[in-house]
Amino acid sequence: MKRVLKKSLASVSQDDRKIIRRISTYLLSHHMNEVVYEETVSDLIGMAEECRARGEDFSQAIGPDIEGFSRELIKNAPRMSWPERVLADLQWFLYCFGMLVPVMYIVNLIFTGTGAGAQLTFTATILTFIKYCVVCTAVVTGIFIFRRRGFGAPKLTLGIYIAVFVILFTVTDSLERFVPTDIVIHLDVIIWVVTFGVLLLLCWLIRRLSAMTTAYMRVLGQRLQRSFHIHRNSGDTDKDKDNEKEKDNEE
C-alpha cells in the first residue's frame, strides 16, 4: 500500500480501518491488479469518510458479509498478469533475503563482538550461513502465506507450511554431515544491500509498468465497448427513422 493511501487510511476510525484492511488483504490475496487495487482502496476510504460525515456507520454500508462484499469487488476487476504475480512474489523474497546479511551482522556484533571496525563485513562459516538461509526461508515463507491468507487460513495451507517447516528443520539439523565446517565466507554488507536494492527497484519498475499496462488496456476496452454500443444504437435509430420515412411516403 502506498504512503498516500496509508496516510488517508489513518484519517478514518479504527473500526473502519480494520474493515478496509481486511478487504484490501482479500483483494491482494486474489491477485487484483495493483493499479485497480489502489483505486479501490482509495474509494473505500472515501466511502468511509462520507459515511462519517453523514453520521452513518461504514460497516452497515458494507454489510455484515465482508467477504461477500470483497468477492463482488474482485469479480469484475482485472487480475494480476503472471509476470506481475511472479515479480510481486520475487520482490517480497528479495526484500527479506536482502535484510538477511545486515541483520546477521548486527546480531553477531551485539552478541559476539565480531565484525566491529571500519569495514562492514559479515564473517561466518559456510554451514552457519546455510543454516541462516534455511531459517530465513522458513520464516519468510510463513509470513508470506499469512499475509496472503485473505479471510482465514485454509487448513491445507497450514498443513503445507507445517510440512515444509518440518522438512527444512530436518535438513538443517543434518547439514553437518554433508557441508564442511572449516570453510569461512566474508560478505560485504554494503555490496549485499546495494545489490538487492537494485534488484528490488528493477522488480518494482517492471511490475508497476505491467500493472499500468493491464489497467490501461481494461479502460481502453471499456471505452471501445461503450463506443461500439453508442454507434450501434445510433445506427438502429437511423434505421428506424428511415423506416418511418418510407412508411410516410407509402401513405
168-218 pLDDT, tens digit each: 777 777 777 777 777 888 888 889 999 999 999 998 898 888 888 877 766
pLDDT (0 to 100) of residue 194: 92
Check if the beta carbon of residue 105 is closer than 8 Å to that of residue 200: no
pTM, two decimal places: 0.65
Per-residue confidence in pLDDT tens, the chain, 251 aa:
567 777 778 888 888 888 888 888 888 877 788 888 888 888 888 888 888 888 888 888 888 888 888 888 888 777 887 888 888 878 888 888 888 888 888 877 777 665 555 467 888 888 888 888 877 777 777 777 766 665 555 566 677 777 877 787 777 777 777 777 778 888 888 899 999 999 999 988 988 888 888 777 665 555 555 554 555 555 555 555 555 555 555 55
Cα distance between residue 128 and residue 193, in whole Å: 20
pLDDT (0 to 100) of residue 115: 53
Please report the domains of the chain, with CATH numbers, ordered by start residue: 3-75 (1.10.1900), 82-208 (no CATH)
